[in-house]
Amino acid sequence: MRKAVLIFIALTLIIEITACAQQKVAQYNLSEKDWNVVLEEAKGTTVNFYGYGGDQKTNNWIDTYLSNELKEKYDITINRVGMNIDEILNKLLNEKQLNVNNGNIDVVWINGENFFTAKENDLLFGPFTHKLPNFNQYIDKNSVEVNYDFGFPVEGYEAPFGKSQFVMIYDSEKVKNIPVNHKELLQFVKNNPGKFTYPAPPDFTGSAFIRNIIYDIVGYEQFMDMEADEQIVREAIQPAIDYFVELKPYLWKEGNTYPSESGLLDNMYSDNEVVMTMSYNPNHVSSKIETGEFNETSRSFVFDKGSIGNTHFLAIPYNSENKSGALAVIDYILSVEAQASKYVPKTWGDLPVLDNSKLNHEEKALFDNINIGKGTISQDVLLNNRLPEMPADLVPIIEKIWMENVPKKGE
Amino acid sequence: MKNKYKPYVMLIPVMIVILGIFINGLIMAFIQSLGYFKAIGLTEITFKYYKEVLTSQGFLSSLGFSVYIATISSVIAVVLGVILAYSILRSTHRKGIEEAVYKIPIFVPHIVAALLAYNILAQSGVVPRVLYSIGIIKDQSQFPSLLYDKNGIGIIIAYIWKGIPFVAMVVYTILSNINNKLSQVALNLGANNRQVFFYILLPFIMPSIFSSFIIIFAFSFGAYELPFLLGPTSPKALPVKAYVEYTNSNLANRPYAMVINMILTIVSLILVWLYNKSFELISKYNR
């Protein structure tokens, strides 16, 4: 028996190291296909939509509005699978390792460093955006935000889905003078010791807060083409790291520990354990007021040097079995109706990606008539104070430097 | 000859699952921990990741934190569990309710235990609210910080809450099956209750105490959810650290996660070996 087990282990080792013969993924020749052919092929199929599933409103928008419209227009069934992006990437990576050529992910909601990783490792299908009629009609193809995702060239491998922007949230009853830059924030925290904190990276929101403070202190321009070298990044952000260390003793629990997730910080804000929270979704505050989790007097603000914004995208995995269906779905999401429906705070409240100058009068009115809800900053103010995200490969380096220098200092 | 192979044949279905999925995963993890990860172009086999991880300050403090939490929570859970089992054994009235109630925490998942601990012990939780309303503390920050703290008290309390009933259940089963006459003889010969417990009952239950200790130790050493939900930002417990490394978007980081996983695996294997030894002890006593 023992021998059998040993032989078995040895065999699996050999198989895994030599990794069975490479098979080719079924060819899908997009350039030769007419758009009508794509729609024809998409008809009657099911499209598996993978992405973050932790937000009730987003899920609801996909499950009701998007599903119904697609069913009616193209006879496509949407099957939404809520899964965190790191798990999706791992799944794709495992499929690539094991040469699975009929993957069941058709559309993946992705951006930033995850897109970078996926594209670097050939996990995505493309380029495909030039084929989408709505992309050609409504999207500003010269916009930096369309062509670059966290500083990384998109090259047609993903289509914009929506925009978000980092905002700080406070209770206007308790906070009278809003700290609009890092110096005022430090003073504010010193005056209210123990009443402020931020989520620890790798939490997405906490990581964005750290980057926003870095921008506020040392400016954003130098990061746009910075080399992903720990030494270079460390030197560039040193003033900001010093700032975080200075801030630390006045934070919640003296900055010895941080909420591990932004949801936890929201809870602490609701419970009055802290007086501010933050979000990468500018509509977060109005939707939380609506559900009764935040006080009616909650408001949001951005720093006067601007706040970080990013675009989230939709991509198609290299081994999707229904690429035509995926293309049809992504194209529909770029339509005026879909983008407007998504912008309504009651349904989701995600900022639209369309180029305003390409919309006609009626289409514009559609967006202008949307009531953006309590506490939310208007689209104009947000867009005027919008700073680009830094290259994706700098993000983990910054998180690592923060981890090594901030929570441990003074032990 | 036929009979000799029969058990193995019958084990095939379960062995396919264990060897096919579990062992396979372990082997893959082992290969990746050596830096072989073809999908992203790492093909050189090296021990450098082990060296880097084992000498890094972050890893050592995580290891220390995990060992600390697992040891403290398991020791306290075992001591209290044995006391609980003994007191149920000694209680004279009907035992139906006690025997049912004390097992409840066993059925509650760890993630729910974390939620309970959060609702009760956080500075905005139930206990500080009660203390505040009866005037013992004047501000929520006066309540000691039990969660998200370097001393890990919140995690330890949650593990103890889950561990006590488990130990009690295992020990109580043995205790209630020990021949009552042995204790009575000792009492008759002038031993007091303490002596009966330490010289007669304890040796009987010792092996099961030891094995239940190993089970809850291994669990609290290797489990992820409680330290993630209730633990501090730094040091992170080992399983949390492994997960953070694993989900790092930079895939070249993957070998580090696998090294941590291999170390967790090795510790668990040692514990399994000890567990087997303790069973040998039990069968020796039963002879």
- Give the tens place of pLDDT for each residue, A47-84: 999 998 878 888 999 999 999 999 999 999 999 999 88
Q: How confident is the model at residue A5 (pLDDT cuts 50, 70, 90)?
A: low
Peptide bond into A259 cis (omega under 30): no
Nearest CA in chain A to B253: A396
What are the start-end ranges of the H helices in chain B? 2-17, 24-33, 48-55, 57-90, 96-101, 104-107, 110-121, 126-133, 153-177, 180-188, 193-195, 202-222, 225-230, 238-246, 254-286
In a domain, B225, yes or no: yes
The answer to whether B176 faces chain A, any CB pair under 8 Å, is no
Share of chain A above pLDDT 70, in %: 93
Q: From chain A, which residues contact B within 8 Å (Cβ)?
A: 1, 5, 8-9, 12-13, 16-17, 19, 86, 89, 93, 96-97, 112-114, 116-117, 121, 194, 200, 202, 253, 256-260, 268, 271-273, 392-393, 395-396, 403-404, 407-408
Nearest CA in chain B to A195: B141
Topology classification of domain A33-163+310-376: D-Maltodextrin-Binding Protein; domain 2 (3.40.190)
- The distance of B91 to chain A (nearest Cα, Å) reads 43
In this prediction, residue A411 carries a pLDDT of 47
Tens digits of per-residue pLDDT, B234-275?
A: 888 999 999 888 887 777 888 999 999 999 999 988 988 988
Q: Which of A199-203, A338-342, B1-5 has the lowest mean pLDDT?
A: B1-5
Tally the domains of chain B: 1
Give the CA-trace dihedral at B18, B20, B25, B26, to 10 degrees.
60
List the one residue out of A401, A332, A310 whose CA is nearest residue A138: A332
- The distance of B124 to chain A (nearest Cα, Å) reads 7
Contacts of B231 in chain A (CB under 8 A): 260
In a domain, B190, yes or no: yes
Contacts of A200 in chain B (CB under 8 A): 233
Instruction: Say if residue B180's pLDDT is above 90.
Output: no
For the domain covering A165-309+388-405, report its CATH number: 3.40.190.10
Instruction: Say if residue A26's pLDDT is above 60.
Output: yes
Query: Does this chain's domain A33-163+310-376 share its CATH topology with A165-309+388-405?
Result: yes
A200 vs B28, B36, B233: nearest CB: B233
- What residues contact residue A111 under an 8 Å CB cut-off, 6+ apart? A149, A150, A158, A310, A311, A312, A313
Contacts of A12 in chain B (CB under 8 A): 23-24, 27
In this prediction, residue B23 carries a pLDDT of 86
SS3 per-residue string spanning B202-236: HHHHHHHHHHHHHHHHHHHHHCCHHHHHHCCCCCC
Contacts of A93 in chain B (CB under 8 A): 39-40, 251
Q: How confident is the model at residue A105 (pLDDT cuts 50, 70, 90)?
A: very high
B207 vs A9, higher pLDDT: B207
In this prediction, residue A368 carries a pLDDT of 83
Instruction: Say if residue B196's pLDDT is above 80.
Output: yes
Q: Is A84 left (phi over 0), alpha (psi -120 to 50) or beta?
A: beta
Does A12 contact B248 at a Cβ distance shorter than 8 Å?
A: no
In a domain, B57, yes or no: yes
Contacts of A19 in chain B (CB under 8 A): 38
The ipTM is 0.71
Q: Any idea what the CATH number is for the domain that residue B266 is in?
A: 1.10.3720.10
If one counts every other C-beta atom within 10 angstroms of the C-beta of residue B228, the result is: 19
In this prediction, residue B204 carries a pLDDT of 86
Residue numbers of the domain that contains B170: 34-114+146-286
Mean pLDDT of B28-57: 87
A396 vs B27, B149, B249: nearest CB: B249
- What residues contact residue A185 under an 8 Å CB cut-off, 6+ apart? A179, A213, A247
Contacts of B23 in chain A (CB under 8 A): 8-9, 12
In this prediction, residue A21 carries a pLDDT of 45
- The distance of A384 to chain B (nearest Cα, Å) reads 30
What residue ranges do the domains of chain A occupy? 33-163+310-376, 165-309+388-405
In this prediction, residue B74 carries a pLDDT of 95
In a domain, B18, yes or no: no
Mean pLDDT of A311-336: 94
* Structure tokens that stand for A68 in this block: 């119904």
In this prediction, residue B285 carries a pLDDT of 62
Indicate whether this model's pTM tops 0.90: no
Q: What SS3 class is residue A303? A: coil
Q: Tell me how many residue pairs between chain A and chain B have CB atoms under 8 A apart.
A: 83
SS3 per-residue string spanning A197-225: CCCCCCCHHHHHHHHHHHHHHHCCHHHCC
Q: How confident is the model at residue A18 (pLDDT cuts 50, 70, 90)?
A: low
Q: Mutate which of A2, A7, A12 to disrupt the B interface (most B C-beta within 10 Å)?
A: A12
